[in-house]
């Protein structure tokens, strides 16, 4: 304990020195002693709040810094640090307000501007975030962290080359900034530069071996490349660092499932749920493993989350790894049936459009072309193709039920594999199709029964089931053929390519 003869000012100086050296426990004890003597001491409250945030206690930090601000609301640094604690607590809108108050007090404040950019980025306001980072860098050009976060915003805006340049500048200034290596890896991965992405993830991990997020992201890259054992090792390492990480548990479960270790995968999914993963999504995964009854369709939040995280790398993975052919097969089937005769005469709906792989193929035949998907991130990729007249983030059945204008062509490429019971889809499709309009789609094929949820998490449907649906809903079966849709685990995946039409 400090000597009673020490003044409050001396105690605070000692506490700050200890804090700066990283001796947080001793610093905390001295801050507490200052507050015992002077409960309304601004600096002790503020700095003890900063220390609490560093110790992983954001709510305590918010309370302490808030008390300091109640004593003196004119200190920009306190508002900035309160914003950081609010961000740690995922209270982004409140954090943004704190940064704005800091900047109202001190407009030329690079850290507040950079942190404000972080809050805006988390809120999805990427253009505003970029402007805030640029304002911080105008004041402090050698701000490595701001350059790294600027790269993340640029990546989110689809400006990949600029993002890599920003990450590069960040790492030139600070070669030990693991977040910038990780951000660069994500951008490289989205560009299909997987070897370079792997190297960047390894650099992030070498720079900071305790960086759980880098381990998880590296594992995800390995898994998409088919290295399931390597992916499993990465996810397990991430969990050794952060046992309560629900996302790492989910990725570990996915790797175990890919390795055909279903019992371990089921246990890992349950671990993910215990750590806060969405209960309905976990139940769906367990149903795919045969642990419980399969639902007629997956939870919408499961599909949205699956494709949101997959969006950046989706096209490369489908086309180069899985050799995905569904869009081309559908266009060939439509052409064979004479549906595409003439140019730009059809009003077309691309159901589950994803990143828009079908869009450029459909555009020459479309008077209007609309796309709908549950994943906002996938729709951002589709928007950049600049071929759609309309893009909507919605469930396909709800979208069709709400649509007033009829259309001449519905296309669903590799979409109905995420729907078991197709009755609602067929009912809504018939409603929106004009007389003589066509409904073209693919499904994964099974021989018997109506539909089955497979361990992959996708449904398979039988030809007999599709023919029965066509009859029940008044469709004519124009063509229904077995085709290899893509690879799955290195093996050909057989599906059905269908063109149904509504009688004229």
Provide the β-strand partners of residue 462.
446
Q: Which of 295, 327, 355 is the last residue of a domain?
A: 295
Say whether both 452 and 490 belong to one domain. Answer: yes
359 domain-assigned: yes
Structure tokens at 378: 């996938």
Q: Quickly state the pLDDT bin for 95 (edges 50, 70, 90).
A: very high
Give the predicted TM-score (pTM) of the model: 0.86
Q: Which of 249, 280, 295 is the last residue of a domain?
A: 295
Q: So what's the pLDDT on residue 200?
A: 98
Q: Quickly state the pLDDT bin for 504 (edges 50, 70, 90).
A: confident
Q: Quickly state the pLDDT bin for 125 (edges 50, 70, 90).
A: very high
Say whether both 370 and 402 belong to one domain. Answer: yes
Structure tokens at 355: 């990143």
313 domain-assigned: no
Say whether both 343 and 444 belong to one domain. Answer: yes
Say whether both 179 and 224 belong to one domain. Answer: yes
Say whether both 232 and 145 belong to one domain. Answer: yes
Say whether both 271 and 167 belong to one domain. Answer: yes
2 domain-assigned: no
Say whether both 369 and 248 belong to one domain. Answer: no
Q: So what's the pLDDT on residue 321?
A: 66
360 domain-assigned: yes
Q: Quickly state the pLDDT bin for 155 (edges 50, 70, 90).
A: very high
Q: Quickly state the pLDDT bin for 3 (edges 50, 70, 90).
A: low
Among the listed residues 429, 410, 418, the one whose alpha carbon sits nearest the alpha carbon of residue 350:
410
Q: So what's the pLDDT on residue 447?
A: 93
Quickly tell me which residue has 């600070």 as its tokens. 174
Say whether both 280 and 360 belong to one domain. Answer: no
Domain of residue 155 covers 8-295
Across 370-374, average pLDDT = 96
Say whether both 268 and 360 belong to one domain. Answer: no
Among the listed residues 327, 458, 438, the one whose alpha carbon sits nearest the alpha carbon of residue 382:
327
304 domain-assigned: no
Say whether both 470 and 353 belong to one domain. Answer: yes
Across 211-237, average pLDDT = 95
Say whether both 283 and 349 belong to one domain. Answer: no
Parallel, antiparallel, or unpaired for β 491-501 and 476-488?
Answer: antiparallel
Q: Which of 280, 295, 310 is the last residue of a domain?
A: 295
- Number of structural domains in the chain: 2
- pLDDT of 59 over the 80 cut: yes
Q: What is the CATH number of the domain that holds 153?
A: 1.25.40.10
State how far the Cα of 49 lies from the Cα of 36, in Å rounded to an integer. 15
Say whether both 104 and 58 belong to one domain. Answer: yes
Among the listed residues 461, 442, 466, the one whose alpha carbon sits nearest the alpha carbon of residue 357:
442
Across 313-320, average pLDDT = 71
Q: Quickly state the pLDDT bin for 475 (edges 50, 70, 90).
A: very high
Q: What is the CATH number of the domain that holds 366?
A: 3.40.50.150
Which DSSP letter does residue 418 get? G
């Amino acid at each position: 304990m400090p000597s009673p003869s020490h003044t409050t000012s001396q105690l605070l100086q000692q506490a700050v020195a200890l804090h700066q050296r990283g001796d947080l426990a001793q610093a905390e004890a001295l801050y507490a002693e200052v507050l015992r003597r002077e409960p309304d001491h601004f600096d002790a409250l503020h700095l003890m709040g900063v220390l609490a945030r560093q110790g992983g206690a954001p709510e305590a930090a918010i309370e302490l810094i808030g008390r300091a601000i109640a004593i003196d609301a004119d200190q920009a640094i306190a508002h900035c640090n309160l914003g950081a604690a609010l961000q740690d607590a995922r209270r982004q809108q409140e954090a943004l307000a704190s940064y704005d108050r800091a900047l109202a007090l001190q407009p030329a404040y690079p850290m507040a501007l950079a942190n404000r950019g972080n809050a805006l980025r988390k809120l999805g306001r990427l253009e505003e975030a970029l402007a805030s980072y640029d304002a911080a860098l105008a004041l402090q050009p050698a701000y490595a962290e701001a350059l790294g976060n600027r790269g993340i915003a640029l990546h989110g805006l689809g400006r990949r080359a600029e993002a890599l340049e920003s990450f590069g500048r960040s790492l030139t200034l600070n070669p030990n900034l693991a977040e910038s290596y990780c951000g660069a890896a994500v951008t490289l991965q989205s560009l299909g530069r997987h070897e370079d992405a792997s190297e960047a993830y390894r650099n992030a991990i070498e720079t900071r071996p305790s960086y759980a997020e880098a381990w998880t992201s590296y594992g995800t890259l390995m898994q998409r490349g088919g290295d399931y054992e390597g992916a499993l090792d990465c996810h397990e390492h991430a969990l050794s660092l952060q046992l309560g990480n629900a996302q790492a548990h989910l990725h570990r479960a996915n790797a175990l499932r890919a390795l055909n270790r279903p019992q371990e995968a089921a246990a890992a999914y349950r671990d993910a749920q215990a750590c806060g993963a969405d209960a309905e999504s976990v139940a769906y995964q367990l149903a795919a493993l045969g642990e419980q009854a399969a639902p007629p369709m997956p939870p919408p939040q499961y599909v949205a989350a699956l494709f949101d995280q997959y969006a950046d790398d989706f096209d490369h993975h489908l086309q180069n790894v899985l050799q995905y052919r569904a869009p081309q097969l559908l266009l060939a089937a439509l052409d064979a049936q004479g549906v595409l005769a003439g140019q730009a005469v059809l009003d077309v709906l691309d159901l589950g459009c994803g990143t828009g792989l079908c869009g450029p193929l459909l555009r020459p035949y479309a008077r209007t072309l609309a796309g709908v998907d549950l994943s906002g991130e996938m729709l951002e990729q589709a928007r950049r193709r600049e071929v759609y007249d309309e893009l909507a983030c919605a469930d396909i059945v709800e979208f069709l039920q709400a649509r007033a204008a009829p259309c001449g062509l519905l296309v669903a490429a590799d979409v109905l594999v995420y729907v078991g019971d197709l009755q609602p889809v067929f009912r809504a499709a018939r409603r929106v199709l004009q007389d003589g309009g066509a409904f073209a789609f693919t499904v994964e094929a099974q021989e018997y029964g109506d539909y089955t949820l497979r361990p992959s998490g996708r449904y398979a449907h039988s030809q007999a089931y599709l023919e029965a649906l066509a009859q029940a809903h008044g469709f004519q079966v124009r063509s229904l053929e077995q085709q290899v849709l893509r690879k799955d685990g290195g093996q050909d995946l057989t599906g059905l390519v269908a063109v149904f039409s509504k009688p004229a």
